[in-house]
Each structure stands twice: as structure tokens, then as C-alpha cells.
Amino acid sequence: MTWRARHVSQPIERDTAAVAAFAGDPRNLPLWAAGLSAGIRLEGQRWLTDSPMGVVEVAFVGPVEHGVLDHDVVMPDGTRVHNPLRVLRNGDGSEVVFTLFQRPGMSEADFEHDAEMVRTDLARLRELLER
């Protein structure tokens, strides 16, 4: 079974190495990924963040240096959610593409809400990197 997918993208006028280095550093998540992270801390080898869903673990599965910012989020109930996120070359800049899946049981309204949160987060990332 496959799930419905939506690709949300944002052009950024910075080279892919700079975008990947910034966005792929878990310490920067609170600066741009408000939908995921209100604060982040390293406990042992795990990055934990206070999210709207509770404390979750975030792990980039990379290779980040090649623009693969896929990350797994382990929810408070132990569910692991894989989130594909790529930084692609777009001329002299970059295109950041997040793939959002409509998982079983997710309503249309929740799917739309998540897509809007991703759009907002990627726009914030652009603002930070284009300053």
C-alpha cells in the first residue's frame, strides 16, 4: 500500500552546501522548523526536542553533506515517522523539497494543516538563509 504524497518546495538563493549544512544541523531546528521543534537538546547520542506532540527524538539519516536531510522522528508513543527532505541544486541556488505523506487515519484537514506548516517552516528557512 502506498500513501498519498505531496511535495512542498521552497527556492533559496544560497548554494546547496550552505543550505544543507544549516538545515541539517539539529541545533538549528528551533530557528526554522517550528512545526517540529520548540527547543532541542543532545542527550547521549540522541537529539530530543519539545514538539507540539510532546518530547520526540529527531535523527537525520543523511548523508546531509549531499543534501539528503531525510530525518526520522520518533513520537512519544514510539512510532517512527520517516520524513524525506532534500536540498537540490537550482541554478546558482537551491530548492528544498519536503515530501509529506498522508498516513492512514490522517484526515484531509490534518493533511492540509501539515502541508501549510511545512510551507511556513520552509519559508522561515529561506528568510534565515537569504539574510
Phi, psi of 29 (to 5 degrees): -55, -45
103 contacts: CB under 8 Å, gap ≥ 6: 3, 81
pLDDT digit string (tens) for 23-57? 999 999 989 988 666 788 999 999 998 877 789 99
Beta-strand pair 85-90/46-51: unpaired
Using 70 as the pLDDT threshold, list the residues of the chain that sit under it. Answer: 35-37
What pLDDT is stored for residue 34 in this prediction?
80
Rounded CA separation 48/15 (Å): 28
Rounded CA separation 5/94 (Å): 22
57 contacts: CB under 8 Å, gap ≥ 6: 46, 47, 48, 49, 72, 73, 74
Residue (of 45, 5, 128, 67) closest to 58 by Cα position: 45
Q: Which three cell numbers mark 16?
A: 546547496
Domains of the chain as residue ranges with CATH: 4-130 (3.30.530.20)
- pTM of the predicted model, to two decimals? 0.91
